[in-house]
Amino acid sequence: MNIELSGIGKRFRREWIFRGVDLRLEAGRSYTFVGPNGSGKSTLLSVISGVAPATEGQLTYRTDTGALDADDWYRHIVIAAPYLELIEELTLLELLEFHQSFKPFRDDITPAALCERMRLEHARNKELKAFSSGMKQRVKLALAFYSEASVVILDEPTSNLDRQGVAWYREHVTALKAPILLIGSNVPEEYDFCDNVVDVMQWKP
Protein backbone atom coordinates (compact mmCIF):
# COMPACT_ATOMS: atom_id res chain seq x y z
CA MET A 1 0.00 0.00 0.00
CA ASN A 2 1.21 3.49 -0.92
CA ILE A 3 -0.59 6.83 -0.64
CA GLU A 4 0.15 9.49 -3.25
CA LEU A 5 -0.70 13.16 -2.75
CA SER A 6 -0.39 15.42 -5.78
CA GLY A 7 -1.07 19.15 -5.50
CA ILE A 8 -3.36 18.65 -2.49
CA GLY A 9 -4.90 21.79 -1.02
CA LYS A 10 -7.58 22.47 1.57
CA ARG A 11 -9.54 25.68 1.98
CA PHE A 12 -12.11 26.73 4.57
CA ARG A 13 -14.20 29.53 3.13
CA ARG A 14 -11.59 31.96 1.74
CA GLU A 15 -8.63 30.76 3.81
CA TRP A 16 -6.25 28.15 2.45
CA ILE A 17 -5.04 25.85 5.23
CA PHE A 18 -2.40 24.34 2.95
CA ARG A 19 -1.70 24.13 -0.78
CA GLY A 20 0.58 22.21 -3.12
CA VAL A 21 1.12 19.12 -0.96
CA ASP A 22 3.10 16.54 -2.95
CA LEU A 23 3.95 13.41 -0.98
CA ARG A 24 4.37 9.67 -1.40
CA LEU A 25 3.67 7.72 1.78
CA GLU A 26 5.03 4.17 1.70
CA ALA A 27 4.22 0.94 3.52
CA GLY A 28 6.49 0.15 6.45
CA ARG A 29 7.45 3.81 6.90
CA SER A 30 6.42 6.30 9.58
CA TYR A 31 5.68 9.99 9.04
CA THR A 32 5.07 12.70 11.64
CA PHE A 33 3.46 16.00 10.65
CA VAL A 34 4.60 18.86 12.88
CA GLY A 35 3.73 22.55 13.03
CA PRO A 36 2.26 25.18 15.37
CA ASN A 37 -1.25 24.78 16.72
CA GLY A 38 -3.70 25.67 13.98
CA SER A 39 -1.19 25.03 11.20
CA GLY A 40 -3.25 22.25 9.63
CA LYS A 41 -1.78 18.99 10.97
CA SER A 42 -5.13 17.47 11.91
CA THR A 43 -6.77 18.78 8.75
CA LEU A 44 -4.09 17.20 6.58
CA LEU A 45 -4.51 13.86 8.34
CA SER A 46 -8.28 14.12 7.83
CA VAL A 47 -7.77 14.72 4.11
CA ILE A 48 -5.31 11.82 3.81
CA SER A 49 -7.78 9.50 5.54
CA GLY A 50 -10.62 10.59 3.28
CA VAL A 51 -12.67 11.90 6.22
CA ALA A 52 -12.43 15.43 4.80
CA PRO A 53 -12.33 16.10 1.05
CA ALA A 54 -9.46 18.01 -0.52
CA THR A 55 -10.35 21.30 -2.17
CA GLU A 56 -7.86 20.67 -4.95
CA GLY A 57 -5.37 18.04 -6.05
CA GLN A 58 -5.37 14.27 -6.33
CA LEU A 59 -5.17 11.69 -3.53
CA THR A 60 -4.59 8.06 -4.48
CA TYR A 61 -4.42 4.88 -2.42
CA ARG A 62 -2.45 2.37 -4.45
CA THR A 63 -1.79 -1.36 -3.97
CA ASP A 64 0.17 -3.80 -6.10
CA THR A 65 -2.97 -4.37 -8.16
CA GLY A 66 -3.64 -0.68 -8.82
CA ALA A 67 -5.49 2.33 -7.39
CA LEU A 68 -8.29 1.76 -4.88
CA ASP A 69 -11.73 3.27 -5.24
CA ALA A 70 -12.17 6.12 -2.75
CA ASP A 71 -15.19 4.32 -1.28
CA ASP A 72 -12.89 1.47 -0.20
CA TRP A 73 -10.22 3.50 1.58
CA TYR A 74 -11.90 3.18 4.97
CA ARG A 75 -11.35 -0.58 4.92
CA HIS A 76 -7.60 -0.02 5.13
CA ILE A 77 -7.46 2.79 7.74
CA VAL A 78 -7.68 3.09 11.50
CA ILE A 79 -7.59 6.44 13.30
CA ALA A 80 -6.99 7.37 16.94
CA ALA A 81 -7.53 10.96 18.04
CA PRO A 82 -8.70 12.57 21.31
CA TYR A 83 -11.63 14.26 19.54
CA LEU A 84 -13.08 11.00 18.16
CA GLU A 85 -15.96 9.62 20.21
CA LEU A 86 -16.44 6.09 21.53
CA ILE A 87 -19.85 4.47 22.05
CA GLU A 88 -20.00 5.19 25.76
CA GLU A 89 -23.13 3.14 26.48
CA LEU A 90 -21.18 -0.05 25.72
CA THR A 91 -18.87 -1.88 28.08
CA LEU A 92 -15.26 -2.24 27.02
CA LEU A 93 -15.79 -5.86 25.96
CA GLU A 94 -18.95 -4.96 24.05
CA LEU A 95 -17.11 -2.17 22.22
CA LEU A 96 -14.25 -4.46 21.22
CA GLU A 97 -16.67 -7.13 20.00
CA PHE A 98 -18.61 -4.54 18.00
CA HIS A 99 -15.44 -3.11 16.47
CA GLN A 100 -14.19 -6.59 15.60
CA SER A 101 -17.38 -7.30 13.67
CA PHE A 102 -16.41 -4.81 10.95
CA LYS A 103 -12.62 -4.50 11.38
CA PRO A 104 -10.86 -7.68 12.56
CA PHE A 105 -8.00 -7.61 15.03
CA ARG A 106 -4.58 -8.71 13.81
CA ASP A 107 -2.84 -11.83 15.09
CA ASP A 108 -6.27 -13.34 15.88
CA ILE A 109 -6.28 -11.52 19.21
CA THR A 110 -9.53 -11.84 21.15
CA PRO A 111 -11.37 -8.94 22.83
CA ALA A 112 -10.56 -10.42 26.24
CA ALA A 113 -6.87 -10.65 25.39
CA LEU A 114 -6.90 -7.09 24.05
CA CYS A 115 -8.31 -5.86 27.38
CA GLU A 116 -5.20 -7.35 28.99
CA ARG A 117 -2.86 -5.82 26.39
CA MET A 118 -4.26 -2.36 27.12
CA ARG A 119 -4.02 -3.14 30.86
CA LEU A 120 -7.72 -2.53 31.38
CA GLU A 121 -8.87 -6.09 32.17
CA HIS A 122 -10.22 -4.82 35.49
CA ALA A 123 -12.64 -2.57 33.56
CA ARG A 124 -13.71 -5.00 30.84
CA ASN A 125 -17.35 -5.04 32.00
CA LYS A 126 -17.55 -1.33 32.82
CA GLU A 127 -19.39 1.09 30.52
CA LEU A 128 -17.05 3.47 28.74
CA LYS A 129 -18.92 6.51 30.05
CA ALA A 130 -17.40 5.66 33.43
CA PHE A 131 -13.85 5.63 32.04
CA SER A 132 -11.40 8.45 32.65
CA SER A 133 -10.15 10.44 29.66
CA GLY A 134 -6.84 8.59 29.85
CA MET A 135 -8.54 5.19 29.81
CA LYS A 136 -10.61 6.22 26.78
CA GLN A 137 -7.48 7.37 24.94
CA ARG A 138 -5.81 4.05 25.66
CA VAL A 139 -8.83 2.25 24.17
CA LYS A 140 -8.66 4.39 21.02
CA LEU A 141 -4.96 3.70 20.64
CA ALA A 142 -5.37 -0.03 21.21
CA LEU A 143 -8.04 -0.20 18.49
CA ALA A 144 -5.55 1.48 16.13
CA PHE A 145 -2.59 -0.68 17.14
CA TYR A 146 -4.38 -4.03 16.90
CA SER A 147 -6.84 -3.63 14.01
CA GLU A 148 -6.01 -5.17 10.64
CA ALA A 149 -5.16 -2.05 8.67
CA SER A 150 -2.61 -0.82 6.16
CA VAL A 151 -2.70 2.79 7.40
CA VAL A 152 -2.55 3.79 11.09
CA ILE A 153 -3.25 7.47 11.83
CA LEU A 154 -2.54 8.87 15.30
CA ASP A 155 -3.38 12.50 16.04
CA GLU A 156 -1.98 13.87 19.32
CA PRO A 157 -1.62 10.27 20.54
CA THR A 158 -0.58 10.85 24.15
CA SER A 159 -3.30 13.39 24.94
CA ASN A 160 -4.80 12.61 28.36
CA LEU A 161 -2.22 9.88 29.10
CA ASP A 162 -0.18 9.85 32.31
CA ARG A 163 3.48 8.79 32.34
CA GLN A 164 2.56 5.12 32.58
CA GLY A 165 0.20 5.56 29.63
CA VAL A 166 2.88 7.31 27.58
CA ALA A 167 5.27 4.41 28.23
CA TRP A 168 2.53 1.98 27.11
CA TYR A 169 2.02 4.03 23.94
CA ARG A 170 5.71 4.00 23.05
CA GLU A 171 5.96 0.26 23.67
CA HIS A 172 3.14 -0.42 21.21
CA VAL A 173 3.74 2.22 18.54
CA THR A 174 7.39 1.25 18.08
CA ALA A 175 6.32 -2.39 17.58
CA LEU A 176 4.25 -1.52 14.48
CA LYS A 177 6.03 -2.81 11.39
CA ALA A 178 3.90 -3.21 8.27
CA PRO A 179 1.50 -0.24 8.13
CA ILE A 180 1.97 3.28 6.93
CA LEU A 181 2.12 5.12 10.26
CA LEU A 182 1.03 8.77 10.23
CA ILE A 183 1.29 10.94 13.36
CA GLY A 184 0.20 14.51 14.00
CA SER A 185 2.18 15.92 16.91
CA ASN A 186 4.32 18.67 18.41
CA VAL A 187 5.56 16.44 21.26
CA PRO A 188 8.92 14.78 20.49
CA GLU A 189 8.18 11.94 22.90
CA GLU A 190 5.33 10.93 20.60
CA TYR A 191 7.43 10.65 17.45
CA ASP A 192 11.21 10.69 18.12
CA PHE A 193 11.42 7.14 16.68
CA CYS A 194 9.82 8.26 13.39
CA ASP A 195 11.48 7.81 9.97
CA ASN A 196 10.26 11.10 8.51
CA VAL A 197 9.32 14.38 10.20
CA VAL A 198 7.41 16.75 7.91
CA ASP A 199 6.74 20.42 8.74
CA VAL A 200 3.29 21.38 7.41
CA MET A 201 4.28 25.07 7.43
CA GLN A 202 6.05 24.51 4.09
CA TRP A 203 2.60 24.31 2.47
CA LYS A 204 1.11 27.45 3.99
CA PRO A 205 0.13 29.91 1.23
Mean pLDDT calculated for residue range 188-198: 95
Q: Is the predicted pLDDT of residue 95 greater than 90, yes or no?
A: yes
pLDDT band at 64 (very low <50, low <70, confident <90, very high): confident
Identity (one letter) of the amino acid at 162? D
The CB density around residue 94, as the number of other CB atoms within 10 Å, is 16
* Phi/psi of residue 185, nearest 5 degrees: -165, 155
* Phi/psi of residue 35, nearest 5 degrees: 160, 160
pLDDT reported for residue 179? 87
Mean pLDDT calculated for residue range 56-65: 94
pLDDT band at 178 (very low <50, low <70, confident <90, very high): confident
Mean pLDDT calculated for residue range 156-161: 96
The CB density around residue 109, as the number of other CB atoms within 10 Å, is 17
CB 90 within 8 Å of CB 98: yes
* Closest C-alpha to 159, from 128, 133, 194: 133
Q: Which positions ≥6 away from 1 have C-beta within 8 Å?
A: 27, 61, 62, 63, 76, 150, 151, 180
- Structural domains in the chain plus CATH codes: 2-203 (3.40.50.300)
- CA separation for the pair 41, 183 (Å, rounded): 9
Note the helical H segments in the chain.
41-49, 92-102, 111-117, 133-146, 163-173, 188-191
Mean pLDDT calculated for residue range 21-41: 95
* Closest C-alpha to 177, from 158, 157, 195, 159: 195
